[in-house]
Chain A
Amino acid sequence: MNKLKAVIVKEILILSRDRAGMAMLFVMPVFLVLVMTLLQDSTFKQLDEKQLPVLIINHDADTFGLKILEGLKSSKFFKITEVENIDKQDFVQKIEKGEYLIGIIINEDATRRIRQSIQLNIQQQFPEEVGQLFEYEDNASGQARVEIIFDPILKSSYKQSILGSLKHFSAMVEARLMFEIYSGLFKDLLSIELKPTSSFDDIVNFDEKYASSGTNKIIPNSVQHNVPAWTIFAMFFIVIPLASNIIKERHSGVSARLLTIAGSKLISNLGKGMTYFVVGFIQAILMLFIGLFILPLFGLPSLQIGGNGLALLVVTIAVVMAATTYGIAIGNIATTEQQSSIFGSISVVILAAIGGVWVPSFMMSDLMLNLSKISPLNWGLNAYYDIFLRNSGLIDLLPNIALLLGFSFVCLFVSFLYSKRGLN
């Protein structure tokens, strides 16, 4: 225990005297997170505002109208405002004035009309001698109608987008109604009671694949992206002081000297790992603190860290482990301090770029998005997104945590192999 303490004290003394290293670990990330968050704030806001303002009147208080409203509302791409009791002229005017880019009017009896059309179609499938299967309502004849009014400035891709969504929802409702009608028929004709399918919505999935601009990537705000991104970036910069520390010890002969002292090498490695691990943890706390309390002072939103403290802790541990072991690996592989600093910093910057630290992955092309998955920084970042934005629990985070820990394991294994080098 005393030995371990001595190692930790030694490491802290050395690190605290390394001004460049300390600046890199603590000043740089603070600076980066402030600057990048402020810089990107407006960009992220624009992304947020890509939600199209849509005005809706729903005259059909039945399945069709309700489902369409529900579907559009659940989409991140439309900002739905529902109005009742409004003059059609007033309604159109709101679109003309540009208050809303799209107006949608769902006419009365839409659901009943759809139902009736389906019933008529079914009737035609049966031979005439079966007779009339359904009772038709007079006022429900004709097609169901949805009127769509576009602002002329609207780009056609957005038009496609809303039309696509509407058609999608409407197809879903038609299928649902058809199912209901057939169920009724089975009951009337054959006295077979079909159970209601609770999973009907799953069959016809509310999959948000829109005709154009849509994807289902989550979009964080500038703070939610930049705080975890630069925290991870900073944690990985541990690689540089840590690797150079290891190489220094090897070159000076301290490392060999420790090998001549019974049982001290293992303790020394352990103490070193623990010290840098704690440093990474302190970085994370510092950055969280900045996200929570300092960024709001600059007029930015405060970081929402979600409610899962345990998940946050575990993910942070996994990221720090990955960063620390990566540093240990580079320290063992590189032969000179210069090599380790250059390789360490370049590799971290590249992994950060690929991993969506600089440009978030939701802005990436599919190619880059796939490429981003090879970066440990991306695993960490996605895990933080999951916690901050999706409020995910540990189970959902498991894949990313496992990747980070697997990466750590590989790094340690490689370090072990390389540490045997020279002892031949």
Chain B
Amino acid sequence: MEEKAIIVIQDLLKRYKNTAKNALDSLNLKVKQGDIYGLLGPNGAGKTSTISMLCGLLPPDSGEIIINGTNLRSKPDKVKAMIGVVPQEIALFEDLTAKENLMFFGRMHGLKKDEINRRGNDLLEKFSLTEKSNKRVKTFSGGMKRRLNLMVGIIHGPEILFLDEPSVGIDVQSKNVIIEYLKEINRSGTTIIYTSHLMEEAEKFCTEISIIDFGREITKGKPSELLENNKDCENLEDVFLKLTGRNVRE
């Protein structure tokens, strides 16, 4: 029996105002429950656009998004209650401390104070920010901000987690902590959709991969399957370059 698809994207189409080409061009995706799904592609491929539409930030021109059986278009709030989002940019209050940020966003998710403190302290510990927890975010290093950015997106323990390039601009240590933590919450049931242009990371981390370019899917499958289908390639990066070309992008 096929595993349940938790996210279904059908013929997603998007063209931004005053642009000549479609940012997303009839994109189809299926994410199964429990997947760590890698949405990979070069800059400008349409990864962020896809994530934005998945979390209800950006209305598609056409196409459907169904999350956990609910159509995003008709019941956006029901979908939003199931998801967590870690955006590509550092979406934090620079003038608040780490704890205050966690408290604010936890509250916005409707959590109780005790719960936020408990989960927050846990996360701060895991991501080695306990010592800095009462310092303002603007004094943080890039890596610390990115870790907090992640923590804020998962403070409410979402069923489905979207991450847009979570490992950009951080050192190897931070990256490892993040990846390990994501694997951990995945084991306990969280479905993860993650974008990246780093193939090496994706190869190790993802259970399913879809490579997109120019808003279209180029190939998909498990990392092992992709390597199987492209015998001439040594690793996923080679596959990626073979399929998306070597031209420099945006």
Contacts and interface: CB of A to CB of B under 8 A. Distances in A.
B93 A10 contact: yes
B221 interface: no
Given A253-B87, A264-B108, A259 B17 contact: no
A262 B81 contact: yes
Contacts of A260: 55-57, 80, 83, 85
B98 interface: no
Given A2-B107, A10-B100, A17 B58 contact: no
B91 A253 contact: yes
Contacts of A252: 89-94
Contacts of B56: 259-260
A6 B116 CA distance: 12
Interface residues of A, number: 28
Nearest to B111: A2
A261 B93 contact: no
A5 B105 CA distance: 12
Contacts of A18: 95
Contacts of A2: 107, 110
A14 interface: yes
B96 interface: yes
Contacts of A267: 108
Contact of B110 (A3, A7, A13, A423): A3
A13 B104 CA distance: 11
Contacts of B83: 260
A256 B95 contact: no
Interface string A251-289: 011101111111110011000000000000000000000
B43 to A, nearest CB: 18
B77 A263 contact: yes
A424 interface: yes
B181 interface: no
B72 to A, nearest CB: 11
A109 B92 CA distance: 88
Given A14-B93, A14-B95, A424 B17 contact: yes
Nearest to A6: B107
B143 interface: no
Query: What 3 A-B pairs are tightest by C-beta distance, nearest first?
Result: A253-B91, A6-B107, A262-B80
Given A252-B89, A257-B91, A262-B80, 12 more contacts: A5-B107, A6-B108, A10-B104, A14-B93, A248-B94, A253-B87, A254-B91, A256-B52, A256-B91, A260-B85, A261-B105, A424-B17
20 contacts: A3-B107, A6-B103, A9-B104, A10-B96, A13-B95, A13-B96, A252-B91, A252-B94, A253-B89, A253-B90, A254-B93, A256-B87, A259-B57, A260-B55, A260-B83, A261-B80, A262-B77, A262-B78, A267-B108, A424-B17
